[in-house]
């Protein structure tokens, strides 16, 4: 079985600090990590490989050369092959252009039984690249998977909903996006760390010339999205104190929720 996992290297925004003067995110000293949801996608692929050693797991990413680190980490967790799409021409891509680029790489690597992505990245939070990639490849997709059961040549997936889950069945090949409910990602292991670092070039790097794409389909040129303006919402720190008995304070709190339209009047 051939599995492709798409990952993204992101700044660790779980420990974000904001410059109070400029209102922008402090990037200096913020470590780069593998997008957390992508680790759940990779974990599912590696679980299938644990069950059937003939499974081949390829990890794919687009980004600057620095993203090699993230792919090396995936190899150290047990993935078989890693490819980084890196080219100046790919810079400034929105989700549309990103999906174009990833799809071109997937077509070169074909065929895959299963493509796995994280549900969304913690930097952009769009949750679009997985679904767009499936569209480009003209294969079905199931998003927000909280459990996946693979049988013969089909999958049965529980899609996480706000108030429960939806059970969906589909045939392979398919693209699935993973939620953190899917599993608990493993750590790197010492055997793979030693083996991967002994290899001369554990990550293959592909540029625009390696893909069957026009320059107009990738990067900023291929991106229909235009960012009009970026701003930080003004931080307000209004604190109100209520006094009185517990009942009186509770009543005042409910009143202020109503005033703020947080609950029905």
Partner 1 sequence: MDFSLTSTQTSIQQMVRAFAAREVKPTAAVTDETCAFPRDNVQKMQRYGLMGMNVPTEFGGAGADDISYAIAVEELSKVCATTGVILSAHNSLFCDPLLKFGTPAQQEKYLIPAANGKTLGAFALTEPNAGTDAASQVTRARKVDGGYRLNGSKIFITNAGEADVYVVFAMTDPSKGTRGISAFILEKGWEGFSFGRVEEKMGIHGSSTRELIFQDVFIPQENLLGEEGKGFKIAMVTLDGGRIGIAAQAVGIAQGALDETIAYIKQREQFNQPISKFQAVQFTIADMQTQTSAARLLTYQAADAKTRGLPYSNLAAMAKLFASETAGFVTNKAVQLHGGYGYTREYPVERMMRDAKITEIYEGTSEVQRMVISSHAIG
What is the contact surface with partner 1 in residues (CB under 8 A)?
72-73, 76, 187-195, 197-198
Cα–Cα dist 150/5, whole Å: 16
Q: Exposed (0-12), middle (13-18) or buried (19+): which is 60, by Cβ within 10 Å?
A: buried
In this complex, which beta carbon is closest to partner 1, that of residue 25 or of residue 205?
A: 205
Q: Please, which residue, 195 or 221, has the CB nearer to partner 1?
A: 195
- Cβ closest to partner 1, residue 31 vs residue 111: 31
How far apart are CB 78 and partner 1 at their closest, in Å?
A: 11
Q: How far is the CB of 163 from partner 1 (least distance, A)?
A: 31
| Residues with Cβ within 8 Å of residue 250, at least 6 apart in sequence | none
Residue number, 172 or 193, with CB nearest to partner 1: 193
Cβ 20 to partner 1, closest distance in Å? 20
The distance of closest approach from Cβ of residue 69 to partner 1 in the complex, given in angstroms and rounded to an integer, is 9
Crossing angle (nearest 10°) for helices 36-51 and 68-77: 30
Nearest-angstrom CA–CA distance, 21 and 7: 33
Local structure of 14: helix, strand or coil = helix
Whether residue 34 contacts residue 73, with contact meaning beta carbons closer than 8 Å, is answered with yes
Q: Which is nearer to partner 1, 74 or 85 (CB)?
A: 74
- The dihedral through the CA atoms of 221, 227, 229, 233 has a sign that is negative
Cα separation, 99 vs 264, in Å, equals: 42
Alpha-helix runs per DSSP H in 24-168? 36-51, 68-77, 95-109, 129-137
Return the structure tokens found at 56: 């081949």
**Shortest Cβ 76–partner 1 spacing (Å):** 6
Instruction: Compare residues 72 and 106 and give the one whose CB is closer to partner 1.
Output: 72
In the complex, least distance from residue 215 CB atom to partner 1, rounded to whole angstroms:
34
């Amino acid at each position: 079985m051939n599995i492709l996992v798409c990952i993204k290297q992101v700044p660790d925004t779980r420990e974000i600090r904001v410059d109070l003067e400029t209102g922008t995110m402090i990037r200096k000293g913020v470590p780069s990590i593998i997008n957390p949801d992508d680790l759940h996608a990779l974990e599912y692929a590696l679980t299938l490989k644990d069950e059937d050693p003939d499974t081949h797991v390829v990890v794919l990413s687009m980004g600057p050369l620095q993203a090699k680190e993230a792919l090396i980490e995936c190899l150290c967790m047990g993935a078989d092959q890693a490819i980084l799409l890196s080219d100046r021409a790919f810079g400034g891509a929105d989700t549309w252009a990103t999906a174009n680029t990833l799809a071109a790489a997937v077509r070169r690597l074909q065929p895959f039984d299963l493509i796995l992505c994280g549900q969304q990245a913690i930097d952009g939070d769009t949750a679009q690249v997985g679904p767009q990639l499936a569209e480009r490849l003209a294969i079905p997709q199931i998003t927000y998977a909280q459990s996946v059961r693979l049988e013969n040549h089909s999958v049965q997936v529980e899609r996480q909903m706000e108030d429960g889950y939806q059970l969906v069945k589909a045939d392979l090949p398919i693209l699935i996006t993973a939620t953190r409910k899917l599993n608990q990602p493993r750590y790197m292991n010492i055997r793979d760390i030693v083996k991967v670092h002994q290899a001369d070039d554990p990550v293959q790097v592909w540029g625009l010339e390696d893909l069957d794409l026009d320059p107009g389909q990738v990067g900023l040129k291929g991106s229909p999205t235009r960012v009009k303006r970026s701003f930080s919402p003004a931080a307000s720190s209004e604190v109100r104190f209520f006094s009185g008995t517990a009942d009186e304070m509770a009543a005042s709190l409910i009143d202020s929720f109503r005033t703020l339209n947080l609950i029905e009047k």
